[in-house]
Amino acid sequence: MRSVEPEVYLVARPQIDYDAMAAYLREVGGERWLERIDRGELEAQDLVEFAGKMCYRSWEPGLNPNVRKVRDDQAVYLQNILKQAHGSVLEHASFSFVLHNVSRVFTHELARHRPGTAISQESLRYVRLDELPFWFPDWAREDAELMKRATALLNELEQFQLWMAGHFGLDEDETRMHEKKHKTSFMRRFAPEGVATGLVWTANIRTLRHTIEARTDQGAEEEIRLVFSKIGEIMRTEAPALFGDYTVTDGTWIPGWRKV
Ligand SMILES: Cc1cc2nc3c(=O)[nH]c(=O)nc-3n(C[C@H](O)[C@H](O)[C@H](O)COP(=O)(O)OP(=O)(O)OC[C@H]3O[C@@H](n4cnc5c(N)ncnc54)[C@H](O)[C@@H]3O)c2cc1C
């Protein structure tokens, strides 16, 4: 048994081709909008604002004869998007995270969130368990008797994994991949649901806002609350105008504008 902590790595974020945007904006007379942008600073926010302004051709007053006034300040513009629940424009910006050392308890819950996500999860049919990495929350670590019994149980399960691998001859040269997969999948049934594993999870901003709220709720499970608090902190840095409306109390993230 190896004691681990759930970790979050942001591995991909939107990247804008500002030259291509400029070429389009020259076509429609909206170049001045791009001049106001601090290129490369907050690209997710630039992308969302770009998508929103395209809807009404509101790069500047008069391009659409119906529009006499435009919001020049990006933060103000994006707050209005949230306020108006114009959430579809948030779907253009996606972020990819590696969620490392998370349990199968966590991944079962995460997979319930469907729109705007992509998942690639470590396969425990291919990847043989030769140890059982496991996260213990602080309150459990402080309980000596619990830790003694839990560690003994996990060590026994780990030994059983190793015994099965030998028993099935999985490291023998002649054992084919098909047979390894078959037996590895059988063996994982003897791993606890708390075994630490990992996945790549991609979500757009609309989905991120909804899942951060749902999964940091007081009623949510402690591991997923921990991970989504970390994701919330990352997103506040990545797109402050789109995640700055949350109030965080005791780890619960409550948005200023709900259900965008
Ligand atoms: C604290 C907590 C406790 C939970 N307990 C349980 C439990 O005991 N048992 C259990 O089975 N689940 C449980 N869940 C999971 C929960 O029921 C949802 O399945 C999960 O949170 C996904 O959220 P969502 O329904 O908002 O869907 P998401 O997939 O996150 O979708 C986001 C939004 O898109 C819309 N949407 C998505 N799919 C559809 C659709 N097919 N049709 C129409 N609109 C759609 C909805 O407005 C939805 O809110 C729990 C979740 C939480 C946060």
* Contacting residues for 84 by C-beta, under 8 A, at least 6 apart: none
Mean pLDDT of the chain: 96
Q: Measure 108 CA to ligand 1 centroid, in angstroms.
A: 12
Task: Give the pLDDT score at 260.
Answer: 66
- If you take atom 16 of ligand 1, which residue's CA is the nearest one? 112
Mutational test site, ligand 1, from 91, 107, 108, 114, max ligand atoms within 8 Å of CB: 114
Tell me the pLDDT tens digit for each residue of 83-136.
Answer: 999 999 999 999 999 999 999 999 999 999 999 999 999 999 999 999 999 999
Tokens found for residue 260: 């965008």
* Whether the predicted model's global pTM rises above the 0.85 cut: yes
Residue 70 has pLDDT above 80, yes or no: yes
- If you take atom 17 of ligand 1, which residue's CA is the nearest one? 112
Q: Measure 109 CA to ligand 1 centroid, in angstroms.
A: 10
Task: Give the pLDDT score at 206.
Answer: 98
Give the residue among 57, 65, 56 at the shortest CA–CA distance from 30.
57
Rounded mean pLDDT, 24-49: 95
CA geometry: angle 161, 167, 170, nearest 5 deg: 80
- If you take atom 24 of ligand 1, which residue's CA is the nearest one? 113
CB 209 within 8 A of CB 81: no
Cα–Cα distance measured from residue 258 to residue 35, given in angstroms and rounded to the nearest whole number: 32
Residue 254 has pLDDT above 70, yes or no: yes
Residue 259 has pLDDT above 90, yes or no: no
Task: Give the pLDDT score at 68.
Answer: 87
What are all long-range contacts of 66-74, with beta carbons under 8 Å and residues at least 24 apart? Answer: 72/36, 74/36, 74/37, 74/42, 74/45, 74/46, 74/49, 74/241
Tokens found for residue 141: 């670590």
Tell me the pLDDT tens digit for each residue of 195-233.
Answer: 999 999 999 999 999 999 999 999 999 999 999 999 999
Cβ neighbours of 236 (radius 10 Å)? 16
- C-alpha separations of 197 from 106, 127, 170 in Å: 10, 10, 21
- If you take atom 28 of ligand 1, which residue's CA is the nearest one? 113
